[in-house]
Amino acid sequence: MRKLPLYGIILSLVLIIPFASGQMFEKATLQETATIFYDQKFSNSIIVSIGFETTDNNEIKISDKIIEKINSNEKIRSIVFTNAGECVIGVTTEEQCIMINYDYQQLKGDGGIRMVQDSARDMSNELIDELNETFGTDTKFHSTFIHAADDANILLETSGAVSGRGTVSATYIMQKQATDFLFADLAGRLVSTDIKESKGFYDITKKMAENDSSIISVSILRNGNSNLFMFKVATEIKNDDLDISKINVLDMLSINEISRSELFNERNVPLNTVINLIVIPNEPSQINAVATHLITDVTSLENISKKGWFFTSPAGNKIDGKFLFGQDKIATSNEVKIEISPWDGQSEIIIYTVENIPKQEEKEYEFFEEKESDNNNQYILLGIIIAVGIGTALFYLKGYKPKH
């Protein structure tokens, strides 16, 4: 069984996020995302991530001093804090990391690897004290790591968007802390009171942090002269007999329904709450049926006003779908079920929905109760979690054009 190394966490952070304007619907700065990643092909695992992304540092509070230092140095790509362990080669599972990530070519200049390593360490030493204060940590320098692999990129088929090549990480470490402890501390330091009191996704994130196998990450991504801030909790469920034919995404969160945060009450923000499902099958596959409305065009306001699934990749070697809440506050377990079947790569893709399943085929497309999967949890794919989180942020931040 192939495992992807955790240095994928750095490799996925080179995305440049475009901003949209002129939307007919309101667009909040905060996005809440639950990501369910089924990897049947490589790791036989289900990776569950839930958290928040924002472009407003009043919602995830990073000091102006740190932001100014990041934005004044064009070589910096991102900063990541995580208790995942093994963030780069030589870091153990019992350690946690702060990684300050740079563009290799910009660091190299006319020098060689020694110049790259020295430059990364020198610049990072000017930031690490403020970062330790922000995260409540006491990390010490470990190493400067130059990434040369494209594992996350290859797995997600996102060449040019998620790539490890050309990234340099100045890595600082300390003894690992439990996720429930870190969640309480970091949420108290970084997450706004409005988010913490909004229930919904925040309460699920808090509950997930109590799982002994969960991990936490806080990321700051460069976006020109602005930033994207991410606060996430994740866990991995190993299952050597992973079945993707019938998926209920809420089962993986151990809940029967999920509600939007009360922060969005009375606000018309259909793209600010997303359930993101990504499936890497061991053979080409297709979405066969969904238990709700199928959104075929996110440029239509009437389409995204109704809860349902939108698939950016409905078939092939990767399935990528996003469940939107539309005008509703709650999505139930029965509404987020989907079926997947093998695909020959040529046949027309027909997706059945509750609106169009033929009467004679109701039994065939009767939705299911999914079997419980093995809870032998690991977290070797944190880089993938962040990658798909960024992908969801991209979906939101690109926005959509109203239909005239």
Rounded CA gap, 55 and 28, in Å? 10
Rounded CA gap, 214 and 242, in Å? 20
Rounded CA gap, 254 and 252, in Å? 5
The pTM score is: 0.82
**Phi/psi of residue 171, nearest 5 degrees:** -115, 130
Query: pLDDT-derived band of residue 153, with 50, 70 and 90 as boundaries?
Result: low
Rounded CA gap, 53 and 49, in Å? 12
The 10s digit of each residue's pLDDT in 243-270 is 999 999 999 999 999 999 999 998 888 8
* Residue range 155-177: mean pLDDT, rounded: 70
Is the separation of the CB atoms in 164 and 7 below 8 Å?
yes
State percent of the chain over pLDDT 90: 54
Query: pLDDT-derived band of residue 179, with 50, 70 and 90 as boundaries?
Result: very high
Q: What is the mean pLDDT of the chain?
A: 80
Q: What is the pLDDT of residue 329?
A: 93
Is the pLDDT at 13 greater than 90? The verdict is no
Q: What is the pLDDT of residue 6?
A: 39
Is the pLDDT at 21 greater than 80? The verdict is no
Tokens of 41: 């092909």
Dihedral sign (CA 255, 260, 261, 262): negative
Which residues have a Cβ under 8 Å from the Cβ of 328 and sit 6 or more positions away?
Answer: 307
Is the pLDDT at 86 greater than 70? The verdict is yes
